[in-house]
Structure 1
Amino acid sequence: MDKEKITHYWERTTGATDCGLRLDKFWAQELADAGISRGRIKQWIEEGHAQVDGVVVPKGKHKLSGYETVSIGAGESRNGEDTAQPVPGDLDVVYEDSHVVVVDKIAGLTTHPAPGEPGPTLVNLLLHRYPDISSQDSGMSGLRPGIVHRLDKDTSGLIVAVRTEADRLTLSADFAERRVHKVYLAIVHGVPERSQGTIEDSIGRHPTQKTRMAVVEKGGREARSEYRVLWAGPRGLASLVAVRIHTGRTHQIRVHMAHIGHPLLGDTVYGPQENAVWKRRSDSLAEMAPRQMLHAFHLSFTHPESGEVMTLWRKPPQDFLMLLSALKRECLRLGVVGMPGSGKSAVVRFLRNAGLPTFSADESVAALYAPEGDGAAMIRQRFGGEYSLSDGSVDKAALFAAMLKSDGVRREIMDTIHPIVQHECEMFFKQYRDEPVAYAEIPLLLEGGWHEKGYVDAVAGVHCPQEKRTGELRRIRGLSVETLAAFDSWQWAEKDKLAACDYIVENNAGLDELQVEAAGMQEWAVELSEERNREFGRWLEALWPQLALEFQDGGGWM
C-alpha cells in the first residue's frame, strides 16, 4: 500500500458472520455511512489500497474467512471530483476551539456530500466557517473533512467535528473503541412494555431492500442499544425515550426501536404502517411528525489535545418540543353527572348551543334502541323479541318494567349497552382532541368507575335541591314518583356522587341562573386544561438539565 497516495484509512476486524463475504461487499457495508459507493471501493482495492492480515489483496471478490484484520485506504481524489466546497450558511455552534467544533445540527441537513446528495451539507458549511479544515490545509479527506461520526439527514442534535488530521485520528479511535458516550431522544409509537431495556440484536443490510438496514440472524454486525422510557403520552399513543448506543451501526436506533415494535414517529422507512395510520389521523397530530423524531441530545468525549472530558447537551428543537406538547395537549375530558332530574341535560344543552363539543349518553342509548340500532338488535337476539316493538326498536316501557322486577335483567342490559356507549364516548373525545375541553354527560359515570379508570380527566356534578328535583323538574320530565325513585336506587347516593366531583354546578333557581352556572363551569374547565398544559411545559423544561446530569460520564442507566 502506497501510503503517500492515501487520503483516508479504515481498519476493521471481521467476525464469524463475515465468513464467505466478498471483500468489496464488506467494505461497502462498513463505509455506507460515508457515502462511498461499491464502485469506488473496488477502485481502491484494485489500486492496492486494501489489506487482509497485513497482506495486500487487489481483488474485490476475495472471500473473507472471519476474524481477520482488514484495512483499506482511500486513493487521492481525481481532479478534485470528490472535494467538498465551502458554502455559506448558519451553524449553531455549541463549542469550538482550534481542535474541535461541536454543532447542534438541524434536521434536514446532511452530514457530508454523498451520491445523490449534492448539498449544501454540514461539511460545506463547516468549510465556509473554518477554512483550515480543507484537505489542502488539514490533510484530511476532501470529501468529508472534519467528520468523525455522522447523523442521519433528518436527525437533529450534537455532532462533533475536528480541525486537524491528528485530531481526527485520535477522536476516530475513541469512537471506534466506544469511548464516546452518546444519548439520543426519540418519540416512538406506543409505549414499550418494559420501562427500560437493552437491545442487542445484530444489524445488517435488509435481505431484499438494499437501501434499508434490518435486524438479521446471519451476516449482521454487533449492535447494542439501551433505552429508557422518560414519558408516556395519554392513552399510550406515543412515548419519549432516551437511547444510548454502544455501537454505531447505520440507522441503529431506528432499526432497534422498530424491531421491538415501537418505530419512531415520522419514520417512513422503518415504521411505514404506523406512519401511514398516523397521517390519516383527523387531528392536528397528523402533520406534526414530518421527519423521524430523533435528536442527539447528549455527547461526552475526551478532547483530542487536552485530554479533558467534554460533556455537552442540547435540548430538542422546536418541532420535537411542539410534538411532545401536542401529544399532551389533547382535550380535557370532562364528565358531567348528577342525580336523575337534576338538570345536567340542560347544562349540556347550554354548552352545545354555545358551539362546544358535547356528548350525551342518554342520546347514545336512544339511538341504540332505535329500529336500526345495534342495541335493539342485541336485545332482540338475547331476549327473543320479548322487549322489541314491531319496527325493531326496543319496547322501553316493557324493558324498564323488567329491569324493575329483575336486577339480573337490569345488569345484563347494562353489561350489553354500557360498553357501546363507552366506545362511542371514546370516539367522541378522540374526534375533539384538539379542543381545550370536551363535555360528556354520563349519568352512571361514577358508578361505572370511569373516573378511576382514566376514561375522563375531571368530573362536574349538577346539584339540585331535593324538593325541586323530585317536584317541579320531575313533573316537567313526566316521571312518576316511583320511576324517579327507581332511577335514584340504581345510582350512588347524592352526597357520595357530589363528593367525588371536581366541580359543582348549582341548579337552585331558574334556567337563566343555570346557564350562568354552566358558563362558570366552562371557564373553570378551560383554565384547568390550560394549567395542565403549562404544568407539562414546566416539566419538560426541567427535564433536559436533569437528564444531562443523570447521563454525565455515561451514567443514568441500569
Structure 2
Amino acid sequence: MAVSTRQFAEPPQPIVYSPPPGMPPVRYVDDALIVVDKPAGLLSVPGRSPEHADCLASRIQAAFPDARIVHRLDMATSGLLLMARGAEMERRLSIAFQKRQVDKEYLAVVAGRPQPERGEIRLPLMTDWPNRPRQKVDREAGKASFTEYALAAYHPADDTSRVTLIPHTGRSHQLRVHMQAIGHPILGDELYADPAHRMAAARLLLHATSLGLAHPRTGLRLSFESPAPF
C-alpha cells in the first residue's frame, strides 16, 4: 500500500464558523448518558475565541445541565456522539473509551477505489505544528494509530467510493489523514484533500454511523445507528 508523503506548502485557510441552528437531534437519553446526532459544521466543544462558544455541548447542556462530553467529532464531521450525565458517568464512559470498549463505525466518500478493498492502516500521527490544525504521518515521533477500512460501493462515473471506517485509536483527524495518506482523500475535506476533491462536495463526506457500548450502570449492550445524510 503506497503512502502519500505530500507536504502542504501553505498553512490552512481560516474557516468561517457558521454552525447550523437549532438543537441537535437527541437519539437516546436516560439518567446515565445521552446520544446525539451532531450536524456537520458544529463544534463538539467550545473553541478558544468567543465566536466559537456555541457548540454541541453548550446546546445540549441548555436542556440537560449535567451533560458532559466524553469524546468528540471534528467540526466538519456529522453523526453519533456520546455524552455522559454527571461526573461518575463521565468517569465510567471515559474509562470505556480508554479501554476501547466503545465500538464506532463511520461512512466516508473518498476519491478513487481503495486497493485492496478491505485493509488496515497503521500509520503513526502527530500534529503538523507549522500547519495547525493539520495532523501528519510521522513514523518516528507520531503516536500509534490504527484504522480498518472496507469498500462499500464504487461509483465509476466519478471515480469515488463509499467506504466504512473503523478507528481503533482516537487520534485527531485520524480517519481523514489515514485515507489521504493511502491516496484516497475524503471528498469535501478542506484540510487534506487536493483542490479538485475538496471542491467535489459542499461538506466533508464523513459521518459517524454507528455506536455500540455497554450501559455504564446496567452493563446491557446498547447499539445506535445513524444513516449518512449524503
Check if 1:156 corresponds to 2:78.
yes
Check if 1:213 corresponds to 2:135.
yes
Check if 1:234 corresponds to 2:167.
no
Choose the corresponding residue for 2:205, options 278, 293, 299.
Answer: 293
Q: Does the residue aligned with 2:69 lie in a helix, a strand or coil?
A: coil
CA deviations over 1:382-407 (Å, ceiling 9, x no partner): xxxxxxxxxxxxxxxxxxxxxxxxxx
The structure where strand makes up a greater share of residues is 2
Check if 1:201 corresponds to 2:123.
yes
Check if 1:169 corresponds to 2:91.
yes
| Alpha-carbon separation, structure 2, partners of 1:108 and 1:268 | 12
- 1:97 maps to a residue whose letter is D
| Alpha-carbon separation, structure 2, partners of 1:121 and 1:211 | 18
| Alpha-carbon separation, structure 2, partners of 1:212 and 1:90 | 29
Q: Does the residue aligned with 2:191 lie in a helix, a strand or coil?
A: coil
2:10 counterpart residue number: none
Q: Does the residue aligned with 1:123 lie in a helix, a strand or coil?
A: helix
1:245 counterpart residue number: 167
- 1:213 maps to a residue whose letter is Q
Choose the corresponding residue for 1:114, options 38, 41, 47.
Answer: 47
8 Å CA contact retained: 1:268, 1:275: no
Q: Does the residue aligned with 1:255 lie in a helix, a strand or coil?
A: helix
2:64 counterpart residue number: 130
Structure 2, unaligned stretches of length 5 or more? Answer: 1-20
Q: Does the residue aligned with 1:256 lie in a helix, a strand or coil?
A: helix
- 1:266 maps to a residue whose letter is G
Q: Does the residue aligned with 2:131 lie in a helix, a strand or coil?
A: coil
| Alpha-carbon separation, structure 1, partners of 2:105 and 2:192 | 20
8 Å CA contact retained: 2:107, 2:164: yes
| Displacement of 1:217 | 1.5
Q: Does the residue aligned with 2:211 lie in a helix, a strand or coil?
A: strand
Larger Rg: 1
| Alpha-carbon separation, structure 1, partners of 2:195 and 2:54 | 32
Q: Does the residue aligned with 2:61 lie in a helix, a strand or coil?
A: helix
| Alpha-carbon separation, structure 2, partners of 1:230 and 1:174 | 28
| Alpha-carbon separation, structure 2, partners of 1:174 and 1:313 | 19
| Alpha-carbon separation, structure 1, partners of 2:63 and 2:194 | 38
Check if 1:103 corresponds to 2:33.
no
2:24 counterpart residue number: 91
The structure where helix makes up a greater share of residues is 1
Choose the corresponding residue for 1:178, options 80, 95, 100.
Answer: 100
CA deviations over 1:252-308 (Å, ceiling 9, x no partner): 0000000000000000211133435xx3xxxxxx5xx12211000010111111111
Q: Does the residue aligned with 2:34 lie in a helix, a strand or coil?
A: strand
- 2:190 maps to a residue whose letter is T
Ranked by relative contact order (alpha carbons within 8 Å, sequence separation 6 or more), the top structure is 2
| Displacement of 1:208 | 3.6
- 2:220 maps to a residue whose letter is E
1:316 counterpart residue number: 228
Kindly report which structure 2 residues correspond to 1:500-539, keeping only aligned pairs within 5 A, or say none. none
- 2:90 maps to a residue whose letter is R
| Displacement of 1:236 | 5.6
| Alpha-carbon separation, structure 2, partners of 1:274 and 1:194 | 24
Structure 1, unaligned stretches of length 5 or more? Answer: 1-87, 134-144, 280-285, 321-558
How many percent identity over aligned positions?
38
Q: Does the residue aligned with 1:257 lie in a helix, a strand or coil?
A: helix
CA deviations over 1:135-176 (Å, ceiling 9, x no partner): xxxxxxxxxx51000001111100010111100000000101
1:191 counterpart residue number: 113
| Displacement of 1:91 | 2.4
- 1:217 maps to a residue whose letter is R
8 Å CA contact retained: 2:23, 2:60: no
2:18 counterpart residue number: none
| Alpha-carbon separation, structure 1, partners of 2:176 and 2:161 | 14
8 Å CA contact retained: 2:35, 2:82: yes
| Total equivalences in the alignment | 209
| Alpha-carbon separation, structure 2, partners of 1:194 and 1:307 | 37
Q: Does the residue aligned with 2:52 lie in a helix, a strand or coil?
A: coil
Q: Does the residue aligned with 2:180 lie in a helix, a strand or coil?
A: helix
- 2:159 maps to a residue whose letter is L
8 Å CA contact retained: 1:195, 1:228: yes
CA deviations over 1:465-503 (Å, ceiling 9, x no partner): xxxxxxxxxxxxxxxxxxxxxxxxxxxxxxxxxxxxxxx
